[in-house]
Structure 1
Amino acid sequence: MTIALDIGLIITSVLLIVLVLLHRAKGGGLSSLFGGGVQSSLSGSSVVEKNLDRLTVFTGLVWLILIVGVGLDIKFS
């Protein structure tokens, strides 16, 4: 059980990092500091952005559940 939780946590952590980095910047901040503020005509459609948002939220929830599972496993072992 512990190994499955750890492997799931590693996979969802990497996937969450990748999904967050795939999001398009919507304002200033650090992304515009490094050249991300330039608008491109090849930007994604709104359907793709919505699906990316949903996938990111779902992955975040799975990650949160795995964190709680690891915490409970540590507490009761």
Structure 2
Amino acid sequence: MGALTIVLQVLLVITSLLLTLTILMHKGKGGGLSDMFGGGISSSIGSSGVAERNLNRITVGTALVWFVVIVLLGLVQRVSL
């Protein structure tokens, strides 16, 4: 079980970083912290609809992989006790 745990932990770190990056790449909807840091000025310059939809799909897919890895790590920890 040691190798499986290491692989899952490495996968968890990679998916956590990817999830953070993809969430930060989304354009702000306005009224939040993104406006405070200049997001309101560049909101009209934002990405196209297709790019935003693809980014949404990548984010949701990464989040699903992240969730599955979390559950698998929990199951491996529970079985190894």
TM-score category, normalised to shorter length: over 0.9
The Cα offsets for residues 22-51 of structure 1, whole Å up to 9 and x where unpaired, read as: 000012111111221113554211000000
Residue aligning to 1:45: 48
Deviates more, 1:55-64 or 1:33-42: 33-42
Higher helix share: 2
Unpaired stretches in structure 1, ≥5 consecutive residues: none
SS state at 2:77 partner = helix
One of 50, 62, 65 as aligned partner of 2:65: 62
SS of 2:29 mapped into structure 1: coil
With structure 1 as the length reference, what TM-score do the two structures score?
0.93
TM-score by length of 2: 0.88
Q: Distance in 2 between matches of 1:10 and 1:49?
A: 24
Distance 1:40 1:71 in 2: 41
After TM superposition, list the pairs within 5 Å mapping 1:1-77 onto structure 2.
1-39=4-42, 42-77=45-80
Percent sequence identity is 52
Inter-partner Cα distance in structure 1 for 2:33 and 2:43:
18
Q: How well do the aligned residues superpose, as a CA RMSD in angstroms?
A: 1.2
Q: Measure the CA separation in 2 of the matches of 1:43 and 1:71.
A: 39
Q: 1:17 to 1:29 in 2, by over 3 A?
A: same
